[in-house]
Amino acid sequence: MFTRVVFAEAVKSLKVYFFSTRTLFWALALPLGNGLYLYFLYLPFATKSVDLQFGATTYTIDLVGFTIIGQLLYSFFTMMLLAGASFDAERWQGTLEVLLLSPASRVAILLGGALANAVNYVWMLVALVLSWVAFIHVGIFVTDPLALCGSLLLSYSAMMALGMCLETVDVYSRRGSIFTAWLQEPVMFLSGQIFPLQSLPVFLLPLSYLLPLTFGLMAVRLTLLGGASIYDVRMPLATLASMTLIFFILASLLVNYAERRAKTKATLTQF
Amino acid sequence: MASHSIRVIASTAKVNLIMTWRFFSWTGFALRFFTPLMTLGAAWILYNVVYARQTLPPGFGAVIGSSGYLSFITVGNAFYVFVFAAAFVVGRVMFWERATGTIEATFMTPMSRLAYMSGIMLAAATNSLIDFAAVFILGLAFGFQIALLNAPLFLSSLLLTAFGLFGIGLITNAITLTFRDRTTTANSLMILFMVFCGLVCPVELMPPWAQLISKALPLTYGVRLMRASLLGIVTVDPMHDIAALLVLDAIYVVIGAITLAQIEKNLRKKALFSIF
C-alpha cells in the first residue's frame, strides 16, 4: 500500500510538473541565472580558483566548478522546497481536504512528491553537467568514483528527507510558501554555496551544520573537483546518512502533527 | 480625458498605498531585503576574508569609483528593490485581480488601462523608496560611503529607471494573463536583471555576450548613472546613458502598452478572463 501511494503520488506530480514552466524555471533557468550571478560576483577578484579548506588539507578548486556545483546542489534543495508547494497547489485547487480524507499514508504522499521533484530535476542536472564539462571545460578531478556516487546519493537523500519535513509546513500553515521563500537566501549564505565555509564567521557555523546542503557541498566539491577519496570525506558522508534518517523520522512525526492540528482548527483549506 | 486619467492614477495609487499599509506584512517586507543582504554579506566576506583586499585588478578603481567595492555593490543592490516592485507588484497585478475574482469588473470599467497601471506603479515606487533607503542604511554597516552627490543625476536615474521598469511590468502582466502564471515570469525577470545589469560586477568585466544582453536592459544604465551620481565615477558618460535609457524606456512602454491591449482584446473575445 505504502509503495503504491508513493508511486501514484510521484506519477501524478510528474504528469503535472514534468517539463512545465515551473520546472523549467526552477530546474534550468534558476540554476543557470544564479550560477552566473555568483560567478559575476567573483569576477572583480581576478581569480580562477578558490581555496577550500577541509580538515588539515587545503584543496584548490576551479572557480567555475565551485560555483556550478554549489548551484546544482542548491537547486536540488529548492526543488525539494517546491515539493512542499504541491500541498499548496492542492489547497488552491480545493483538493487538499479530499487528499487528506483518503487513508493513504501521509509519509508516502510526501515521499512521492519529493521523489517526483527529484526525478524532474535529475535529468536536467545530468544534461547541465555534461554541457558544462563539454563547453565550459570545468576542471573535473575525480580519483574515487565511489566517493562521488556516495556523496551525490547521500546529499540527495538527506535533502529529500529535509524537503519532506518542510512539506509539512504547507499542511500546517497557509504561509508555508512564504516560509520556504524565507529559507532560500539564508541557506545559500550559510551552506558555503557562495564562498568557502572556512570564511564564514564562526558564530554562524552552528547554523550551517544543521543543513544537509553544507555537508553535501563539502563532499561533492571535494570528490568531484578536488580528487578526494571516500576516506577523506567519511565525516560529511556519515553526517548526511544520519541526517537522512533523522529528517525522515521527523517528517513522519511532523506531518501527523500538522494534519491533526489543521483538522482541529479547520484550517486545511481556509484562506 | 487627461484629467480622467490623472484621477485614475491618483485613486489607484491611493487604494494600493492604503492596502499596503493597512495590511502591512512584516514577513513580506523582510523578504524583499534577503537578496540584497545576502549579496552584501557575500561581497563583504569575499572582499575582506577570502581575498583579503588583495586581488582586485588594476584599473578596477576607475570603474567602481573612489568609494570602493562595497559601495559599488550597495548601490547595485539598492536598485534591486525597484526590480522587485516592477516584477512582483506591477508585473502581477492581473494575476491578483484574477485570483481575487475582480479582473472582469476591472476590465469592464471605462478607465485607461495605462492610467490604472501607472497608479499601481506610482504606489509601488513610493513604497520602494522606503526599501531603497533601507538598503543604503544596511549598506552603511558593510562600508557604504558617498563620495560625491550629484542630485540631478541621482533623481534622473531614479525616474528614468522607474519608467523603464514600468514598461517591463506591463509586458509581464501580458505574459501572466496569457499563460496563467503565478510567479515564474516575475522570478525569471528578477534573475535576468540581477545577472546582467551589473549589480555585483561592472558590466565592462563581463563576457561580451553578457554585455550585449545588458545593453538591452534599462536597469544597466540606471544603475550606472546612480553609481556615477553617488560614487564619483568619472568613466561614465551621463548624457549617453540618459539617452540610451530614454530610448529603452520608450520602447518598453510602447511594447508593454500594445501587448497588454492585444491580450485584453484576445481574452475578451475568447472569454478567458477569469478561467484558470
* 271 residues of chain A, pLDDT tens digit each: 889 988 998 898 888 877 777 777 877 788 888 888 888 888 888 777 888 888 888 888 888 888 888 888 888 888 777 666 667 777 777 788 888 888 888 888 888 888 887 887 777 777 777 777 777 677 778 889 999 999 988 998 898 888 888 878 877 776 777 777 788 889 999 999 998 998 999 999 999 999 999 999 999 999 988 888 999 999 999 999 999 999 989 988 988 888 888 788 877 766 5
Q: What is the pLDDT of residues B15-68, one digit of tens each?
A: 989 988 888 878 778 888 888 888 899 999 988 888 876 666 666 766 776 668
In a domain, A151, yes or no: yes
Q: Which residue of A has its CA nearest to B203?
A: A40
Question: Is residue B276 scored above 60 in pLDDT?
Answer: no
Q: Looking at the 3D structure of chain A, how many domains does it have?
A: 1
Going by pLDDT thresholds of 50, 70 and 90, the confidence category of residue B247 is very high
DSSP string for residues in chain A? -HHHHHHHHHHHHHHHHTT-HHHHIIIIIHHHHHHHHHHHHHGGG--SEEEEEETTEEEEEEHHHHHHHHHHHHHHHHHHHHHHHHHHHHHHHT-HHHHHHS-S-HHHHHHHHHHHHHHHHHHHHHHHHHHIIIII------S-HHHHHHHHHHHHHHHHHHHHHHHHHHHH-TTHHHHHHHHHHHHHHHTTSSS-GGGS-GGGHHHHTT-HHHHHHHHHHHHHHS---TTTTHHHHHHHHHHHHHHHHHHHHHHHHHHHHHHHHT-SS--
Closest alpha carbon within chain B to A93: B276
- Taking CB atoms and an 8 Å limit, are A44 and B191 in contact across chains? no
| CB within 8 Å: A37 and B195 | yes
- Say what the pLDDT of residue A83 is: 67
pLDDT tens for each residue of B166-211: 898 888 888 887 877 777 788 888 888 889 999 888 888 899 999 9
Q: What is the pLDDT of residue A147?
A: 93
DSSP conformational letter for B237: -
Return the residue matching grid coordinates 567602481: B64
How many angstroms separate the CA of residue B116 from the nearest CA in chain A? 27
Is the four-CA dihedral B179, B183, B184, B190 of positive or negative sign? Answer: positive
- State residue B156's pLDDT score: 92
Least Cα distance to A66 among A211, A193, A236 occurs for A193
Position A271 in a domain: no
What does the pLDDT read at residue B59? Answer: 67
Round to the nearest angstrom and report the end-to-end CA distance of chain B: 34
Name the pTM for this structure: 0.83
Question: Taking CB atoms and an 8 Å limit, are B200 and A186 in contact across chains?
Answer: no
CB contact (8 A) between residue A41 and residue B201 = yes
- Cβ of residue B201 closer than 8 Å to a chain A Cβ: yes
More confident residue, B268 or B63: B268
Q: Is A8 inside any structural domain?
A: yes
Q: What is the pLDDT of residue B196?
A: 93
A-B contacts (CB, under 8 Å) = 90
User: B149 — phi, psi (to 5°)?
Assistant: -90, 120
Instruction: Please tell me the predicted confidence (pLDDT) of residue A146.
Output: 93
Spell out the residues 6+ positions from residue B219 whose beta carbon is closer than 8 angstroms to its own: B79, B82, B83, B161, B164, B165, B193, B197
Q: Compute φ and ψ for B184, nearest 5 degrees.
A: -60, -45
pLDDT at B254: 94
The per-residue pLDDT for A265 is 81
Query: Which of A25, A33, A44 is closest, CB to CB, to B201?
Result: A44
Q: Looking at per-residue confidence, does B79 or B167 come out higher?
A: B167
Is 90 exceeded by the pLDDT of residue B217? Answer: yes
- Chain A: residues touching B (Cβ < 8 Å): 21-22, 25, 29-30, 33-34, 36-37, 40-47, 50, 175, 178, 181-182, 184-186, 188-189, 194-196, 199-200
Q: What is the pLDDT of residue A75?
A: 83
pLDDT at A50: 84
Residue of B nearest to A26 (CA): B184
Q: Tell me what the pLDDT averaged over chain B comes to.
A: 85
A34/B60 touch (CB, cutoff 8 Å), yes or no: no
User: Residue A170: which domain range?
Assistant: 2-265
What ipTM is given for this predicted complex?
A: 0.84
Nearest residue in A to B200, CA atom: A41
| Residues of chain A contacting residue B51, judged by C-beta atoms under 8 Å apart | 45, 47
Residue A161's pLDDT is what?
A: 87
Q: Kindly list the domain boundaries of chain B, sorted by start residue.
A: 2-270
Domain presence at residue A176 = yes
pLDDT at A245: 95
Characterize A168-195 residue by residue with b for buried, 16 or more Cβ atoms within 10 angstroms of its Cβ, and e for exposed: bbbbbeeebbebbbebbbebbbbbbbbb
pLDDT attached to residue B104: 84
What share of chain B in percent tops pLDDT 70?
Answer: 94
Closest by CA to A30, choosing from A188, A161, A163, is A188
Inside any domain, residue A270? no
Nine-digit cell string for B192 = 535576468
Residue B253 has pLDDT above 90, yes or no: yes
Give CA–CA dist B26/B140, Å, rounded: 22
Q: Between A81 and B258, name the one with better pLDDT.
A: B258
Q: Answer yes or no: are the C-beta atoms of B193 and B165 closer than 8 Å.
A: no
The Cβ-side half-sphere exposure at A50, using a 13 Å CA radius, reads 32
Residue of chain A with shortest Cα separation from B41: A189
C-alpha cell at position A238: 556519515
Mean pLDDT of B115-126: 89
